[in-house]
């Protein structure tokens, strides 16, 4: 058994409340325009007062989730509320689609051809609706989830980036939607969630997981075949790892469903074999399934978030299987990540290391990084171990 | 005076014809579908048979330019011709705009919201028209140049990526158009070229060159003011360096115009101060004008092409000013670049190094790298020194 389960539990909660959250809260609340000011340098100074819509939704989700699960702190609830109000006022275009990038006072800078802003709004709205009991926001969360399903099932609704000569689909859509549905289900509930979660898991298993290659693809043709071109071959370990723990989470929800445990742990195995850098440590950002060069220049950099996701995935795999292999992976990634990404001086994590583990830049928040993957990891790992210990105690009492 | 001007001259021509060109030619000619197969790994093996439209135009330009200036080799002319034929058949959408990315057999994969495909087609068509004497292709080159002017002067013609909340313009457009017009002028001629070149140089000087900050911006507001947000602050040394040598080239065309020499060398000075990595050597890819973190993750990597551009710019600055400072910059960049990027085993250059100069990946060709910046540098430096020596000889004779 993992030696220090309760040490880890305390560590994660302490880090979350004593190191990660204080970097962002309360200073990021924008008292003038609402929402959050999150694009910050190492020491917390503001790099940019623009607002990335993804991260507005994500921070709202975090504060409401802490309120729902850690402590009923009024300041967290109020903090979540300002995010909801800002998104309600400024997040949506007249066609109902959400923007991607806003000015501090909510003017739209950019709308993208994806619906990830929507998925992060769903989890923010749902968590806040539970925290506040606001039925209107709960309705809105469910409506927005319905919109996400539409976008996913009718790809033509959003302007395509490519022609239809070489159709492709990404794992990002079913992956993120599993988590969106799980969050919705676990907060305010929605009858569509469980059916859709299983549908998206099946899609990932059928079309993206390649047992013959021991790999999980980032994009494939609509029939699941590999597109043997530079983009089609590029896979993103971080997305596959997220899919793995969302699937393991579903396995736990279904009374430790063995088939889903096998699927989730298999994905971890494949990614571990392909994406752990055995020379320098850390998870590579992009890889080519056949070992060829990839187009993205930062392919071998170490980004913070795949490490957060693997810390969760390996811990959950260990709790579900008691297989020491996953305890070892968890420990190895935990030690690498807290050793290399954590900023001991100002708190929180750096986001971007060179392949060899040296720091590439100091931003703690930008258009894509903010208070999400790291605090979610610390929160979820704390919560998961806590639940595991309580269940064990319960079964011992029985 | 630079010690080894004629050594450099011979070195560049030898490298071009004995090392760089043989990597690409003749093997990249696609005898089945026309055009070029350029996405290649270190050893020349094909990574992808797709065709990037930018690079189809660029390789066509290179082969025709070698025919026009180095030797009347029939195989170079035929090589250029297949590129023209491929672009004529498959390069253009029904609305007249060019595609960005095609399959091997010419089916469109992606069209982008820019007109860089068009600018590289202009120089390819113009060089080929001169080489072949084909009047129809010459007309087409001039028409396409007219189209580029329209796109540049009426930005609304192409679908915008951003809303109009924070209007911006990039140096890329006037910079690339100066070179497009210079190539057109120097091959088949066009009465619009000289006026437009001066207009675009004035725009760069007025709106992008910031003497108070000793910097050249990548994008600014329409009135030339700095947009103090993460993207607005990010500058791209490679683009500024290209602008510098296009301006110096224009200075030379205007009988060593002193004002333009001062402008071009000033840009080199600013970029040298800001973008040369004094720890590891090499030119940084992106920088923030105020030293803040940038959004692009690969900001401190060393890419091949800014080094090609600075080798040209510094050499041209030296030839025009006899200032030893530029001879030293030229030598330093030349030694770094041929020492780090050149692949001594298979020829040509690697494209992507980590900040510390170690190799990040092995691709010689992909969607953005191909036979252009390196062979253009070797060709232009050879040609420039040759012209300089002939002029000196001429003036001594007089």
Please give the Cα distance from B219 to B225 (Å, whole number): 9
Which chain B positions have a beta carbon within 8 Å of A229's beta carbon?
A: 48, 50
- Mean pLDDT throughout B52-72? 98
Instruction: Give the number of A-B residue pairs with CB atoms closer than 8 Å.
Output: 100
Q: Determine phi and psi for B38, rounding to 5 degrees.
A: -120, -5
Residues B374-387: tens digit of each pLDDT: 999 999 999 999 99
Q: What tokens does B375 get?
A: 């062979």
Q: What length is written for chain B?
A: 398
What number of other Cβ atoms are within 10 A of residue B92's Cβ? 18
To the nearest whole Å, the CA of B297 is away from the closest chain A CA by 7
Is B76 within 8 Å of B68 (Cβ atoms)? no
8-state DSSP, A99: P
Please give the Cα distance from B366 to B308 (Å, whole number): 18
B39 Cβ neighbours under 8 A, 6+ residues apart: A230, B46, B47, B48, B49, B50, B52, B363, B365, B366, B367, B370
Q: Do A367 and B229 touch (CB under 8 A)?
A: no
pLDDT recorded at residue B160: 80
- At residue B1, does pLDDT exceed 70? no
Q: Do A163 and B109 touch (CB under 8 A)?
A: yes
A23 Cβ neighbours under 8 A, 6+ residues apart: A40, A44, A346, A347, A348, A364, A371
Q: Do B301 and A299 touch (CB under 8 A)?
A: no
Q: What do you get for the CA distance between the two ends of chain A, in Å?
A: 22
Measured CA angle at B269 (ends B268, B273), to 5 deg? 115
Residues B324-333: tens digit of each pLDDT: 999 999 999 9
- Mean pLDDT throughout B37-49? 98
Q: Do B360 and A229 touch (CB under 8 A)?
A: no
Residue labelled with tokens 């590439």: A360
Residues B213-266: tens digit of each pLDDT: 999 999 999 999 999 999 999 999 999 999 999 999 999 999 999 999 999 999
Distance of CA A115 to the CA centre of its chain: 15
> Minimum mean pLDDT among A339-353, B22-36, B143-157: which range?
B143-157
- State the virtual CA torsion across B366, B367, B372, B377 in degrees, nearest 10: -80
Domains of chain B: 1-25+168-398 (1.50.10.10), 30-161 (1.50.10.20)
A328 Cβ neighbours under 8 A, 6+ residues apart: none
Q: What is the 3-state secondary structure (H, E, C) of A190-204?
A: CCCHHHHHHHHHHHH
pLDDT recorded at residue B2: 57
- At residue B397, does pLDDT exceed 80? no
Q: Do B361 and A39 touch (CB under 8 A)?
A: no
pLDDT recorded at residue B398: 58
Of B338, B351, B288, B396, residue with least CA distance to A297: B351
Q: What tokens does A383 get?
A: 């919560």
pLDDT recorded at residue B282: 98
- Give the residue from A163, A282, A284 with the most B CB atoms within 10 Å of its CB, the best one to mutate: A163
Please give the mean pLDDT across all residues of chain B: 96
Name the closest residue on chain A to residue B297, using Cα atoms: A298
Which chain B positions have a beta carbon within 8 Å of A47's beta carbon?
A: 230, 292-293
- Give the residue from B163, B346, B353 with the most A CB atoms within 10 Å of its CB, the best one to mutate: B163
Helix (H) or strand (E) holding B144: helix B135-153
Nearest to A163 among B110, B356, B368 (CB): B110
Please give the Cα distance from A56 to A121 (Å, whole number): 8
Residue B395 pLDDT grade (very low, low, confident, very high; cuts 50, 70, 90):
confident
A255 torsion bin: left (phi>0), alpha (psi -120 to 50), beta (else):
left
A357 torsion bin: left (phi>0), alpha (psi -120 to 50), beta (else):
left
Which chain A positions have a beta carbon within 8 Å of B234's beta carbon?
A: none
Q: What tokens does B176 get?
A: 């690339």
To the nearest whole Å, the CA of B91 is away from the closest chain A CA by 14
Name the closest residue on chain B to residue A167, using Cα atoms: B109
pLDDT recorded at residue A393: 81
Cis peptide bond upstream of A26, omega within 30: yes
Which chain A positions have a beta carbon within 8 Å of B162's beta carbon?
A: 109-110
Of B331, B388, B391, residue with least CA distance to B2: B331
Is B236 within 8 Å of B299 (Cβ atoms)? no
- Alpha helices per DSSP H over chain A: 5-15, 21-24, 53-69, 74-90, 116-132, 135-153, 172-187, 193-203, 230-233, 237-253, 258-275, 304-321, 324-340, 373-397
- In a 3-state reduction of DSSP, which class is residue B209? strand
pLDDT recorded at residue A59: 98
Of B102, B81, B78, B80, residue with least CA distance to B91: B102
Please give the Cα distance from A59 to A56 (Å, whole number): 6
- Mean pLDDT throughout B1-27? 92
- Exposure of A297 in the CB half-sphere (CA atoms within 13 A): 21
pLDDT 10s per residue in chain A (398 long)?
A: 456 899 999 999 999 999 999 999 999 999 999 999 999 999 999 999 999 999 999 999 999 999 999 999 999 999 999 999 999 999 999 999 999 999 999 999 999 888 999 999 999 999 999 999 999 999 999 999 999 999 999 977 887 878 899 999 999 999 999 999 999 999 999 999 999 999 999 999 999 999 999 999 999 999 999 999 999 999 999 999 999 999 999 999 999 999 999 999 999 999 999 999 999 999 999 999 999 999 999 999 999 999 999 999 999 999 999 999 999 999 999 999 999 999 999 999 999 999 999 999 999 999 999 999 999 999 999 999 999 999 888 787 75
Is A131 within 8 Å of A67 (Cβ atoms)? yes
The neighbouring-strand residues paired with B220 are B169
The neighbouring-strand residues paired with A368 are none
- In a 3-state reduction of DSSP, which class is residue A285? coil
The neighbouring-strand residues paired with B342 are B349
- Mean pLDDT throughout B182-195? 97
pLDDT recorded at residue A394: 78
Q: Do B230 and A39 touch (CB under 8 A)?
A: yes
Please give the Cα distance from A366 to A358 (Å, whole number): 20
Measured CA angle at B217 (ends B248, B295), to 5 deg? 135
Please give the Cα distance from A181 to A194 (Å, whole number): 8
Nearest to B362 among A230, A293, A367 (CB): A293
Q: What tokens does B148 get?
A: 């580029």
pLDDT recorded at residue B263: 98
Q: What tokens does A336 get?
A: 């690498």
pLDDT recorded at residue A398: 58
List Cα–Cα distances, A393 to A4, A10, A342, A397, B266, in angstroms.
Answer: 17, 18, 33, 6, 73
Q: What tokens does B44 get?
A: 């020349």
B306 Cβ neighbours under 8 A, 6+ residues apart: B237, B238, B241, B275, B283, B285
Is B178 within 8 Å of B201 (Cβ atoms)? yes
- At residue B288, does pLDDT exceed 80? yes
Distance of CA A219 to the CA centre of its chain: 18
Q: Do A293 and B47 touch (CB under 8 A)?
A: yes
- Give the residue from B39, B103, B160, B297 with the most A CB atoms within 10 Å of its CB, the best one to mutate: B297
pLDDT recorded at residue B266: 98
Q: Do A109 and B47 touch (CB under 8 A)?
A: no
Name the closest residue on chain B to residue A350, using Cα atoms: B293
Is B349 within 8 Å of B371 (Cβ atoms)? no
- Give the residue from A297, A303, A348, A360 with the most B CB atoms within 10 Å of its CB, the best one to mutate: A297
Of B58, B55, B79, residue with least CA distance to B67: B79
A269 Cβ neighbours under 8 A, 6+ residues apart: A214
- In a 3-state reduction of DSSP, which class is residue A79? helix
pLDDT recorded at residue A2: 57
Is A130 within 8 Å of A61 (Cβ atoms)? no
Nearest to B163 among A108, A163, A366 (CB): A108
More reliable by pLDDT, B164 or A28: A28
Q: Do A360 and B297 touch (CB under 8 A)?
A: yes
Residue B392 pLDDT grade (very low, low, confident, very high; cuts 50, 70, 90):
confident
Nearest to A107 among B110, B165, B292 (CB): B165
Q: Determine phi and psi for B187, rounding to 5 degrees.
A: -110, -75
Nearest to B109 among A162, A297, A301 (CB): A162
Please give the Cα distance from B137 to B153 (Å, whole number): 24
The neighbouring-strand residues paired with B20 are none
Q: Do A107 and B354 touch (CB under 8 A)?
A: no
Helix (H) or strand (E) holding B14: helix B5-15
pLDDT recorded at residue B3: 62
Of A54, A140, A128, A52, residue with least CA distance to A96: A140
Q: What tokens does B338 get?
A: 């041929």
Helix (H) or strand (E) holding A102: strand A101-102
- In a 3-state reduction of DSSP, which class is residue A33? coil
Helix (H) or strand (E) holding B270: helix B258-275
Counting residues of chain B whose pLDDT is more than 90, the rounded percentage is 93
pLDDT recorded at residue A204: 98
How buried is residue A356: exposed, middle or buried, by Cβ count under 10 Å (0-12/13-18/19+)? middle
Please give the Cα distance from A81 to A125 (Å, whole number): 9
Helix (H) or strand (E) holding B247: helix B237-253
Please give the Cα distance from B308 to B245 (Å, whole number): 11
């Amino acid at each position: 058994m993992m030696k220090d389960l309760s040490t880890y539990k305390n560590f994660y909660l302490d880090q979350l409340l004593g190191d990660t959250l204080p970097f962002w809260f309360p200073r990021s609340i924008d008292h003038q325009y609402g929402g959050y000011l999150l694009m910050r340098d190492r020491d917390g100074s503001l790099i940019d007062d623009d607002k990335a819509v993804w991260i507005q939704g994500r921070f709202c989700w975090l504060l409401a989730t802490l309120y729902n699960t850690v402590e009923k702190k009024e300041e967290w609830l109020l903090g979540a509320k300002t995010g909801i109000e800002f998104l309600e006022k400024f997040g949506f275009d007249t066609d109902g689609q959400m923007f991607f990038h806003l000015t501090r006072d909510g003017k739209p800078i950019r709308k993208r051809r994806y619906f990830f802003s929507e998925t992060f709004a769903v989890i923010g709205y749902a968590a806040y609706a539970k925290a506040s009991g606001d039925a209107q926001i709960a309705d809105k969360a469910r409506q927005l989830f319905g919109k996400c399903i539409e976008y996913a099932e009718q790809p033509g609704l959003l302007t395509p980036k490519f022609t239809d000569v070489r159709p492709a689909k990404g794992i990002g859509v079913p992956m993120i939607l599993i988590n969106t549905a799980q969050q919705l289900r676990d907060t305010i509930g929605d009858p569509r969630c469980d059916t859709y979660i299983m549908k998206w898991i099946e899609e990932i298993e059928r079309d993206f997981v390649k047992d013959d290659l021991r790999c999980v693809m980032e994009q494939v043709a609509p029939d699941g075949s590999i597109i043997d071109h530079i983009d089609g071959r590029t896979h993103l370990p971080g997305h596959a790892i997220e899919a793995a723990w969302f699937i393991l989470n579903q396995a736990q929800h279904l009374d430790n469903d063995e088939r889903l445990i096998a699927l989730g742990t298999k994905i971890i195995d494949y990614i571990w074999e392909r994406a752990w850098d055995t020379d320098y440590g850390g998870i590579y950002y992009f890889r080519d399934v056949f070992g060829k060069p990839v187009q993205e220049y930062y392919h071998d950099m170490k980004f913070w978030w795949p490490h957060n996701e693997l810390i969760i995935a390996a811990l959950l795999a260990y709790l579900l299987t008691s297989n020491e292999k996953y305890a070892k992976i968890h420990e190895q990634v935990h030690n690498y990540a807290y050793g290399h990404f954590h900023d001991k001086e100002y708190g929180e994590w750096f986001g971007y290391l060179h392949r060899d583990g040296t720091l590439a830049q100091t931003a703690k928040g930008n258009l894509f990084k903010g208070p999400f993957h790291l605090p979610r990891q610390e929160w979820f790992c704390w919560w998961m171990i806590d639940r595991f210990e309580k269940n064990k105690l319960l079964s011992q009492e029985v």
